[in-house]
């Protein structure tokens, strides 16, 4: 059976000579190569989770910039994906901390690179206004990315985040969460929302907003009823509604994680 891609290619090549026009065929003597078409089915659950958490973080940062156009915000990102950090840096001056990184500065990207670990950030107190750390806290201290083995690496990191943030500073955090939370060494820690809340409070943060990012193929909310049905869509829910759906959803998927995303402020 002829695939859609092959059929489209055949149609494309027929139009080379069939269509009557005044265009020059600059590719006449060049080969027509085949490539794999973009398909959303090729993006796995983790990929979609990263996409949606990055969008959420970027919206928070861009809104903050919009409301405070004259403030010289200093952002520290700890362990997020670099392609995410590049977009964060379009909104404010950004320092990217990574255990495997190298020291360097790229003014055209508005980014400074620094090598280090979240458990021991080598900067002065009150140096940053905002910290972003997306799907990274769960790895700190497990050695997966060349960092120091440290059982309490995640909690030590939150204490360090508090120290290096200026008064009124914000922490944008995202971690994998599920009901049957555990540590998979050395893949990562999988939290429950309650554990994350307790850790943040203990480290000196007050949660301002909670987001629950559900993976594709899980739930759809029907306002007119209490029924939650399976769908092929990503779902981001906030605060109490998100927690209610998480509690119901996690009974069916106790060992499948979501992204628990929090916006916190120094107490």
Give 79-121 pLDDT, tens digit per residue: 999 999 999 999 999 999 988 877 888 888 999 999 899 999 9
DSSP alpha helix (H) spans, the chain:
4-18, 45-67, 82-88, 153-164, 193-203, 239-252
Backbone angles phi, psi at 166, to 5 degrees: -75, 160
**pLDDT tens, position by position, 186-227:** 889 999 999 999 999 999 999 999 999 987 655 554 444 444
Q: Which residue has the tokens 């985040």?
A: 161
Q: In the beta sheet, which residues pair with residue 235?
A: 214
The pLDDT of residue 4 is: 67
Q: Which residue has the tokens 């499948």?
A: 256
127: DSSP letter = -
Range with the lowest mean pLDDT among 91-100, 175-184, 241-250? 241-250
> What is the pTM assigned to this prediction?
0.83
Fold for the domain defined by 40-214+257-266: Rossmann fold (3.40.50)
Q: Roughly what angle, to the nearest 10 degrees, separates helices 193-203 and 153-164? A: 50
Higher confidence at residue 125 or residue 106?
125
The pLDDT of residue 232 is: 45
Q: Which two tokens stand for residue 216?
A: 């594709």
The domain spans of the chain are: 40-214+257-266
Whole-Å CA distances, 181 to 22, 34, 76, 192, 196: 65, 44, 28, 6, 11
In the predicted structure, residue 229 carries a pLDDT above the cut 70: no
Q: What percent of the chain has pLDDT over 90?
A: 55
**pLDDT tens, position by position, 43-83:** 566 778 898 999 999 999 999 999 999 999 999 999 999 99
């Amino acid at each position: 059976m002829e695939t859609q891609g092959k059929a489209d290619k055949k149609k494309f090549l027929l139009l080379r000579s069939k269509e009557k026009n005044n265009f020059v065929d600059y590719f006449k003597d060049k080969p027509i190569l085949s490539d794999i078409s973009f398909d959303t089915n090729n993006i796995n659950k983790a990929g979609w989770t990263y996409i949606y958490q990055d969008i959420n973080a970027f919206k928070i940062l861009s809104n903050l910039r919009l409301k405070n156009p004259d403030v010289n915000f200093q952002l520290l990102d700890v362990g997020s994906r670099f392609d995410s950090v590049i977009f964060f840096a379009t909104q404010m001056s950004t320092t990217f901390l990574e255990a495997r990184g190298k020291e360097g500065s790229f003014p055209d990207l508005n980014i400074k690179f620094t090598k280090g670990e979240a458990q021991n950030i080598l900067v002065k107190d009150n140096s940053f206004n905002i910290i972003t750390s997306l799907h990274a806290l769960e790895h700190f201290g497990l050695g997966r990315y060349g960092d120091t083995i440290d059982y309490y690496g995640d909690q030590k990191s939150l204490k360090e985040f508090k120290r290096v943030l200026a008064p009124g500073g914000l922490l944008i955090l995202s971690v994998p969460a599920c009901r049957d939370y555990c540590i998979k060494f050395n893949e990562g820690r999988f939290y429950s929302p309650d554990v994350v809340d307790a850790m943040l409070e203990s480290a000196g943060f007050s949660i301002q907003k909670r987001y629950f990012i559900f993976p594709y193929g899980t739930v759809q909310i029907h306002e007119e009823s209490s029924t939650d049905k399976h769908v092929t869509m990503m779902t981001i829910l906030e605060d109490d509604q998100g927690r209610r759906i998480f509690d119901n959803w996690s009974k069916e998927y106790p060992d499948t994680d979501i992204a628990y995303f929090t916006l916190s402020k120094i107490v």
